[in-house]
A and B are shown apart, each in its own frame.
Chain A
Amino acid sequence: MGSRAVFGQAALSAGEKNPKLMMLSGDLGDSSGLARFKNSFPDRFINTGIAEQNMIGVAAGLAKEGHNVFATSFAPFLTLRSGEQIRMNLGYMKLNVKAVAIGSGLSMAFLGNSHYGLEDVAVMRSIPNLTIITPADCAEIVKVVHAAAKFDGPMYIRLTGGVGNPPVYTEEYDFEIGKSIVLRKGSDITIFATGSMVYESLEAAKILDHLGISSSVVNAHTLKPFDYSEVDKAILSSKTIITVEEHSIIGGLGSIVAEYKAKFTNSPAQLILGLPDNFGKTAEYRFLLEKYRLVGEKIAMDIQKFLKKSRLNNDRS
């Protein structure tokens, strides 16, 4: 099952528990997996038409009157076209709206750059008062939707990954907004990953193990407010910090960690892995992840190369 279908199912069960929960969609209700929600709660679902700016405003009005409103669309339409509505209503007025981007990153594949979420985190994260969450897999999407249904405040939820997302979690676990999850402990390096890249980073860590490099992997699901405690630990214990994200290398997880780390004089070097700052050619989702070296094997290769290079640099100095 893909992230959108899971989102729709989670929305339905959260809706059953929370009578004040509403779902809005810019004519992507079916694509967002919300058909069952719409049928179960017809007066709690509004298709606002292909008009995202108005959708965010309507969501804000509903939130002002006590509803917890999820508003969904594709990442660029939601965050960039309605960016100012989000800034005014969610940021400035702190209204209880959850903006949910379906299919962020590259998962829209052949639909092309018009539909990709390349810079959404960079934009959303610079708006005050927003909480930003990128679930790592389908199990975490369910956790996030239920947590958001109980959370009183504005939020941006970024769904990445395609159909048949590989699972990170196979057993029940505790999810808490704003608290990173250490999935793996290692002594050499720490990899911070978010969204679809958590799975790939775990794969990379396995490969690095065979090469004698011991890695910690942290699921940084909440990008704002960010859990810096794991960065603090990594600064003290790791030789190198790596960030991996299906987002532009400008303004996302890599920037979040780098901005924080900048104040420490002796902090380890950081390798920022993500999407290049350009509009590339369009292809199948998996093809693009391979091309941009955001798959386990290539992440491991790039980390190994980086470590080798920094060792050489250290030897020279």
Chain B
Amino acid sequence: MDHLKKIENMALFMRRKILDISFQSSHAAHLGGGLSMVEIMATLYAHILNFDKNKPNWEKRDRFILSKGHGVLGYFSALLAAGFISEEKYATYLTNESDLIAHPIMNLDLGIESSNGSLGQGLSMGIGIAYSAKKNKNLEYKAYVLLGDGECNEGSVWEAIMLAPQLKLDNLIAIVDYNKLQSDMTPSSEIINFGNLAAKFENFGWDVYDIDGHDIIQLVDAFEANHGDGKPKMIVANTVKGKGVSFMENNNEWHHNILTKSKYELALAELEG
């Protein structure tokens, strides 16, 4: 199908752009978590989200919030692919006083809805946005919020998890990039063990989809599924940190690291091979 090809192409383009800019910037970057979210973002920006890149403040646009703010590589590359960010702008990533740094800075002209970087805050904002849309019957936009699994250690996430079903926000879609590694080298399950994360969300009253977060057919199905029972939607996207570059996959040395020339060439060869 056309849209699957489009998503696949965008994902490939994004991975390439993530490697390029990480190498060019010569600074350490959050590569692992940027790469694990690529299919989620490609599905959103190539197929699911309703937006007009020429009218970034269009009031009926779907709102996307990157709650896992350190995932900018997977975000800026999607905004580049979608046409919100130009190649010239993209090249300013991690340069002094750039609009594009290691965490999003609210800038609607670039398609960036909110400033993030402090974990555990985006879902709350998503609730406010979704509630506004419900209140204004002329606006049928949806609020999408991408969280990290490490981020779900934050208590404020669970405050939001509890409130959203109460307000019957079926226009709120949260996605957890469940890559099972966070900042330290220790696996997440040995830090805070969520066990069955999907079951936890379900118990809190969410409409939950537990899927492979790199399988675009499953992603599209989960985003498009409509149970219509007034529940907010939670997509637990099981992913691999560093996905697409074998030496980065499940290797938390790449949580935040510098991509040297030799490693860049190695990664690129793999991607294009």
Contact = CB atoms under 8 A, between A and B. Distances in A.
A51 B162 contact: yes
A93 B114 CA distance: 7
A95 to B, nearest CB: 9
B124 A85 contact: yes
B114 A64 contact: yes
Contact of B115 (A46, A53, A85, A93): A93
Contacts of B130: 61
Contacts of B124: 53-58, 60-61, 85
A31 B116 CA distance: 33
Interface string A44-71: 0010110101111111111111110100
Contacts of A134: none
A64 B155 contact: no
Contacts of A88: 115-116, 118, 121
* Contact residues on A (Cβ < 8 Å of other chain), bracket: 20 to 34
Contacts of A51: 156, 159, 162-163
Nearest to B120: A53
Interface residues of B, number: 30
Contact of B125 (A57, A66, A84): A57
A63 B129 CA distance: 8
A215 B181 CA distance: 64
Contact of A63 (B115, B123, B127, B128): B128
Interface string A225-266: 000000000000000000000000000000000000000000
A54 B156 contact: yes
Given A54-B156, A88-B115, A66 B121 contact: no
A92 interface: yes
Contacts of B127: 54, 57-58, 61
B25 to A, nearest CB: 23
Contacts of A48: 159, 163
17 contacts: A49-B163, A51-B163, A53-B120, A53-B156, A55-B124, A57-B156, A58-B128, A58-B131, A59-B128, A60-B128, A61-B125, A61-B128, A61-B130, A61-B143, A64-B113, A64-B114, A64-B128
Pairs of residues from A and B, 9 with the lowest C-beta to C-beta distance, nearest first: A61-B128, A57-B124, A65-B132, A54-B159, A51-B159, A61-B125, A62-B128, A53-B156, A61-B129
Interface of A: 43, 46, 48-49, 51, 53-67, 69, 84-85, 87-89, 92-93
